[in-house]
């Protein structure tokens, strides 16, 4: 019987143990035993699939990987301790001295730091491509370009890359395409369908969905994941089995959670549309979004993040944050609890105005990660805070 991916995300499980547990067991162990020397030799020789050591593999971690592969439509995966270790591990496993990386400039802050401040140590070159001018990207591909790297929608700009176009471009130039699918999750878009070779996530965000654990994952073509696995099993960014257990349980509710996050985000967008204190509101599925047509083509719904620009810039931003009564002031996103952040005075305060502008950050930009509370309460808290700025 072939099961829908959502059913598999609920029911896929490591084989039931002799205890006949219903909920999936947690294999909280650093290493695994062998019956005899020959079995141990065979495991190290990769003549069988036995687990050896949890830096290499672990049944609970594998369950999380298997579910993510089903959800993303991928052949194989490797899970990491955080989203950043998934990103850094991917760069290190596939880029060598003399290679060139073409990255979209609108990427998560720590990704930007790796690209601009660290890759040169290993003599890896990079170019930044502007998300607003896709027509300029092809000219940036060089003979030594090995990888194209993008996030869509971007954090926090909520800009969108046309994955069908990019998949075709990457294929034409025989360059590996890597997509950070953190903001959309496989519930809303599957980059592999558009030609991505690898898809990665910060599992810390919507995949956990309750702000409890750090985690990351890379899924994609089997032969690429094999290279990533060999790199990671030796360098050690592996996901802890405990965090994997939390994450695999979270995937049982991913689809329903994301649908409700989208419902609440849509209710918020409706309530804020045209508000006198705002210059604009941005949401992928709002017709005013400059990339709305691309969003409609590749995303099932708009996701749980909404941004808006307060009239009055940085000062209004701080006043708004101080006036919130229920929303949390914290730097995470993708939580059951709604979260507000003001990038210009916090995460992106070190960027120049021009740098902020190039990644769609304005002084009055507020990012709301819309949670699972009753929608009326989220809207009421934001409306009362707007009155105070
Ligand atoms: C789009 C995106 N990618 C990667 C990361 C990094 O993930 P982590 O914090 O799990 O290392 C984040 C974190 O916010 C993110 O938003």
> Per residue in 125-156, pLDDT tens?
999 999 999 999 999 999 999 999 999 999 99
**Domain residues of the chain, as ranges?**
5-251, 254-387
> Per residue in 151-197, pLDDT tens?
999 999 999 999 999 999 999 999 999 999 999 999 999 999 999 99
Measured in Å, residue 50 CA sits from the centre of ligand 1 at: 32
| 43 neighbors 105 (Cβ within 8 angstroms) | no
Nearest-atom index, ligand 1, CA of 333? 14
Nearest-atom index, ligand 1, CA of 107? 1
Which fold is adopted by the domain 254-387? 3.90.1150
Measured in Å, residue 112 CA sits from the centre of ligand 1 at: 11
* Kind plus residue range of the DSSP H or E element containing 145: strand 145-151
Q: Among the residues of 73-184, which ranges form H helices?
A: 83-94, 109-113, 163-172
* Best probe residue, ligand 1, of 151, 155, 346 (max atoms within 8 Å of C-beta): 155
* 180 pocket-lining for ligand 1 (C-beta < 6 Å): yes
> Per residue in 194-246, pLDDT tens?
999 999 999 999 999 999 999 999 999 999 999 999 999 999 999 999 999 99
Of residues 156 and 374, more confidence is placed in 374
For the segment(s) 5-251, the CATH number from 3.40.640.10, 1.10.10.10, 3.40.50.2300, 3.30.565.10 is 3.40.640.10
CA angle 268, 323, 106 (to 5 degrees): 55
Tell me if the pTM is above 0.85.
yes
């Amino acid at each position: 019987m072939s099961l829908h991916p959502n059913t598999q995300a609920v029911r896929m499980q490591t084989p039931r143990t002799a205890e006949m547990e219903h909920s999936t067991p947690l294999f909280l162990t650093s290493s695994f035993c062998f019956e005899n020397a020959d079995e141990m030799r065979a495991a190290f020789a990769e003549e069988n699939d036995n687990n050896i050591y949890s830096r290499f593999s672990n049944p609970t971690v594998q369950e999380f990987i298997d579910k993510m592969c089903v959800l993303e439509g991928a052949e194989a995966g490797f899970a990491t301790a955080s989203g950043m270790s998934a990103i850094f591990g991917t760069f290190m496993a596939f880029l060598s001295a003399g290679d060139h990386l073409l990255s979209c400039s609108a990427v998560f802050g720590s990704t930007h730091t790796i690209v601009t401040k660290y890759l040169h140590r290993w003599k890896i070159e990079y170019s930044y491509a502007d998300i607003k001018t896709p027509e300029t990207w092809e000219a940036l591909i060089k003979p030594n370009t090995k990888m194209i790297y993008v996030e869509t929608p971007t954090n926090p700009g909520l800009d969108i890359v046309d994955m069908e176009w990019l998949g075709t471009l990457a294929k034409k130039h025989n360059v590996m395409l890597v997509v950070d699918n953190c903001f959309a999750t496989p519930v809303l878009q599957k980059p592999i369908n558009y030609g991505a070779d690898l898809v990665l996530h910060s599992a810390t965000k919507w995949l956990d969905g309750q702000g409890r654990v750090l985690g990351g994952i890379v899924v994609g073509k089997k032969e690429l994941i094999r290279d990533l696995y060999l790199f990671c099993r030796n360098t050690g960014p592996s996901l802890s089995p405990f965090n994997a257990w939390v994450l695999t349980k979270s995937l049982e509710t991913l689809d329903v959670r994301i649908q409700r996050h989208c419902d609440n985000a849509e209710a918020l967008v409706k309530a804020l549309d045209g508000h006198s204190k705002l210059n604009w509101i941005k949401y992928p599925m709002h017709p005013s979004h400059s990339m709305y047509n691309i969003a409609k083509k590749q995303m099932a719904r708009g996701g749980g993040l909404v941004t808006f620009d307060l009239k009055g810039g940085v000062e209004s931003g701080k006043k708004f944050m101080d006036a919130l009564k229920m929303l949390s002031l914290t730097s995470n996103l993708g939580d059951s609890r709604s979260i507000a952040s003001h990038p210009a005075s916090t995460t992106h305060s070190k960027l120049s105005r021009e740098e902020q502008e190039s990644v769609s950050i304005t002084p009055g930009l507020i990012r709301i990660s819309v949670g699972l509370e009753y929608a009326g309460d989220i809207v009421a808290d934001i409306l009362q805070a707007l009155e105070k700025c």
